[in-house]
Structure 1
Amino acid sequence: MKPAILIHGPTASGKTALAIEVAKRLSGEVINADSMQVYQDLQVISARPTEEEMDGIQHHLFGHVDAAERYSTGDWLEEARATIRKLELQGKRVILVGGTGLYLLALTQGLSNIPPVPEEVRADVRTIAEKEGAEGLRERLAPVDAETADRLGTGDRQRLARAYEVFLATGKPITEFQKERQPPVLQDGEWIGFALTPPRAKLYQKIDRRFEGMLMQGAMEEARNLIERGLDPELPAMKAHGMPWLAAFARGEITAEFAAENAKRDTRRYAKRQFTWIGRQFPFWPRIPSPDQDERMRVILALYREIDRPVEADYS
């Protein structure tokens, strides 16, 4: 088995283009590890690579899920497992790329065995979250799962809601399930991970420019199409970066300028959280701070050569 290459980094950091170039140089194929790029309805909003950008490289798990589905980390992990094994049998090098750190964490460290939560429980918790906010969720969670409530504080309503709904559905704190993990798909020695950490100021500028480009490429039309379907606003696809603001504009609630500025701001904040995730969850992954594509390639190929001596490639 050839070690898989995992490429992670904040949004707009150039992960996709780098993964495609690595695949070309090492006769590999690309597997998506981004929770929004799985949705077929979010071609533009999720910055999913086009056929032209793929440049003949086979891509997997991109745009294959309908926006009406609640696609989970567990769903992705099973599909990724099957795809990795298939590519291994074909002698292809596996390149996983994406900004969803939880996907890559589950792939390399295992996934918690949390039972499915009934939809009626989810609906009840959503109602609580809308009425009481993150602080209300934390106050409800604290008596039954103090560890999670203290760790999350009031800064992460989504995870607070998830922890509370797990308790309501099972009668146990989510921490009990998190201590019992499935074995990882990729064991130590079967992968090498790289974290892109470009200068933040330049990245934030790129995020703003990219969103403006998305508007020109049809992001608003994607948002309108989803709204016309009458989908639950709590679905993951409806929470894609920029989507809530585009939806509000499409409904006539805010101006286009207000929608664009807030969408850019939220995406910059998300990138900041991704930097934090890298520091906390992937402390030993090699960092590549340079935004230069050639420099990134040199680092990846040189380190990959160290763990996979038989590979012959041009490292110039």
Structure 2
Amino acid sequence: MAGAKVVCLLGATGTGKTGAALALAEACGGAVVNVDSRQVYKGLAVLTAQPTPEEQARCPHFLYGDTPLDMAVTAGAYAKRARCVVASILERGLLPLLVGGTGLYFRAILGGLAPIPAVPPEVRNEIARDYEALGPAAMHERLAAVDPASAARIAPADRQRVTRALEVAAATGRSLSSWHGQGDPEAPGYDVLSLGVRLPLEALAPRLAARIEAMAAGGAVEEVARALERYSADVPGLSGIGGPELAAHLAGQTTLGAAKAAWLANTRAYAKRQMTWFRKEPDVHWFAPGDTAGMLAAVAGWLGRGAA
């Protein structure tokens, strides 16, 4: 796969990556590969803003909504799946478009993460017991003490990722961020064009508020209710932003209005973390939301096709 051409389309939540990806795929003969850690989960299409069935019908889409809610997903394991999908897309003569907002997944797929040894069950169980006894704030403080870099990018309420980072540190004696900085010797060596969609946080915030209102009205609450009929509220698939807030509302602990306010505040904070991460990534060509023409021109020039 060395030298194979791959487009990465990245950016914070709510910046319009789905529409841009569809335009690029249709113009360039592409297939879309999910690079969002929340959109992998089954049964939460509205809550996680997965492309709609109509959108997915416009071009091939992969790795959306195919993971059970009770299955934890690591960046390394996801990278292996994504690389296999990219290989199959290339074999079909299509252009792979890696689309999403999870910076760590992009880095893992492209080759920035070293393979991490498996965590022994006894370590995992001990940290799970500590989490139940101490709660999210204390466990996030523990993470900050052993792995400040991971603590800075992981929200305190994200149980799955807080515990994963603590497990790795306890089991290997090295921080998760240290493993992530080492690099993967089996990296595929793609020829990558990275396109980013960005908007100042102040301008993005109203878009996020409108999006959350649309999600809540469009079935997100019902999705979480159905999920809670089968799973506990702390399963990995419900740990992402929106899940805990709506679960609290459905449990009678808060009003829907308060849940949406918390959902928005946490989404805004997440968008800010995404922006911080992506600003540090090299060689990203940045565009405003809706500048499809600019993105198409960049891809066409990179492919040597002239104007798209």
Using a 3 Å threshold, how does the CA distance of structure 1 residues 299 and 119 change in structure 2: closer, same or farther? Answer: farther
The 10-residue stretch of structure 1 (110-119 or 154-163) with the greater mean CA deviation from structure 2: 154-163
Using a 3 Å threshold, how does the CA distance of structure 1 residues 153 and 106 change in structure 2: closer, same or farther? Answer: closer
C-alpha contact (below 8 Å) 1:129/1:137 kept by paired residues: no
Cα deviation code 1:132-160 (max 9, x no counterpart): 65556645874xx5xx3477479754566
1:245: which partner in 2? 245
Residue pairs, 1:1-316, within 5 angstroms: 3-129=5-131, 131=134, 133-134=136-137, 138=141, 142=145, 145=146, 148-149=147-148, 152=151, 157=156, 161-174=163-176, 177-178=179-180, 180-183=182-185, 185-187=187-189, 190-231=191-232, 233=234, 235-280=235-280, 282-288=281-287, 290-291=288-289, 293=290, 296-309=291-304, 311=305, 314=308
Please state how far the C-alpha of 1:171 moved relative to its aligned partner.
4.1
The 10-residue stretch of structure 1 (94-103 or 162-171) with the greater mean CA deviation from structure 2: 162-171
Please state how far the C-alpha of 1:199 moved relative to its aligned partner.
3.1
Question: Which secondary structure does the structure 1 equivalent of 2:13 belong to?
Answer: coil
Using a 3 Å threshold, how does the CA distance of structure 1 residues 120 and 250 change in structure 2: closer, same or farther? Answer: farther
Using a 3 Å threshold, how does the CA distance of structure 1 residues 84 and 127 change in structure 2: closer, same or farther? Answer: same
Please state how far the C-alpha of 1:126 moved relative to its aligned partner.
3.5
Using a 3 Å threshold, how does the CA distance of structure 1 residues 232 and 119 change in structure 2: closer, same or farther? Answer: farther
Letter in 1 for 2:286: R
C-alpha contact (below 8 Å) 2:47/2:242 kept by paired residues: yes
Cα deviation code 1:205-250 (max 9, x no counterpart): 11111111111111111111121113360x3211121110100111
Identity %: 31
C-alpha contact (below 8 Å) 1:4/1:94 kept by paired residues: yes
Using a 3 Å threshold, how does the CA distance of structure 1 residues 298 and 21 change in structure 2: closer, same or farther? Answer: same
C-alpha contact (below 8 Å) 2:112/2:180 kept by paired residues: no
Question: Which secondary structure does the structure 2 equivalent of 1:56 belong to?
Answer: coil
Distance in structure 2 (CA, Å) of the matches to 1:88 and 1:155: 33
Question: Which secondary structure does the structure 1 equivalent of 2:297 belong to?
Answer: helix
Using a 3 Å threshold, how does the CA distance of structure 1 residues 200 and 167 change in structure 2: closer, same or farther? Answer: closer
Alpha-carbon RMSD: 2.6
Using a 3 Å threshold, how does the CA distance of structure 1 residues 141 and 260 change in structure 2: closer, same or farther? Answer: closer
Cα deviation code 1:66-101 (max 9, x no counterpart): 111112212211111111111111110111101111
Letter in 1 for 2:196: A
Distance in structure 1 (CA, Å) of the matches to 2:144 and 2:11: 31
C-alpha contact (below 8 Å) 1:135/1:154 kept by paired residues: no
Please state how far the C-alpha of 1:3 moved relative to its aligned partner.
1.7
Distance in structure 2 (CA, Å) of the matches to 1:128 and 1:202: 40
Distance in structure 1 (CA, Å) of the matches to 2:135 and 2:219: 35
Distance in structure 1 (CA, Å) of the matches to 2:60 and 2:153: 42
Q: Which runs of 5+ in 2 are unaligned?
A: none
C-alpha contact (below 8 Å) 1:224/1:247 kept by paired residues: yes
Distance in structure 2 (CA, Å) of the matches to 1:14 and 1:137: 31
TM-score normalised over the length of structure 2: 0.88
Q: Which runs of 5+ in 1 are unaligned?
A: none
Question: Which secondary structure does the structure 1 equivalent of 2:217 belong to?
Answer: helix
Question: Which secondary structure does the structure 2 equivalent of 1:20 belong to?
Answer: helix
Distance in structure 2 (CA, Å) of the matches to 1:298 and 1:128: 51
C-alpha contact (below 8 Å) 2:221/2:246 kept by paired residues: yes
Distance in structure 2 (CA, Å) of the matches to 1:151 and 1:251: 31
Question: Which secondary structure does the structure 2 equivalent of 1:193 belong to?
Answer: strand
Greater Rg, structure 1 or structure 2? 1
The 10-residue stretch of structure 1 (195-204 or 215-224) with the greater mean CA deviation from structure 2: 195-204
Distance in structure 1 (CA, Å) of the matches to 2:153 and 2:102: 22
Distance in structure 1 (CA, Å) of the matches to 2:113 and 2:245: 32
Distance in structure 2 (CA, Å) of the matches to 1:198 and 1:177: 31
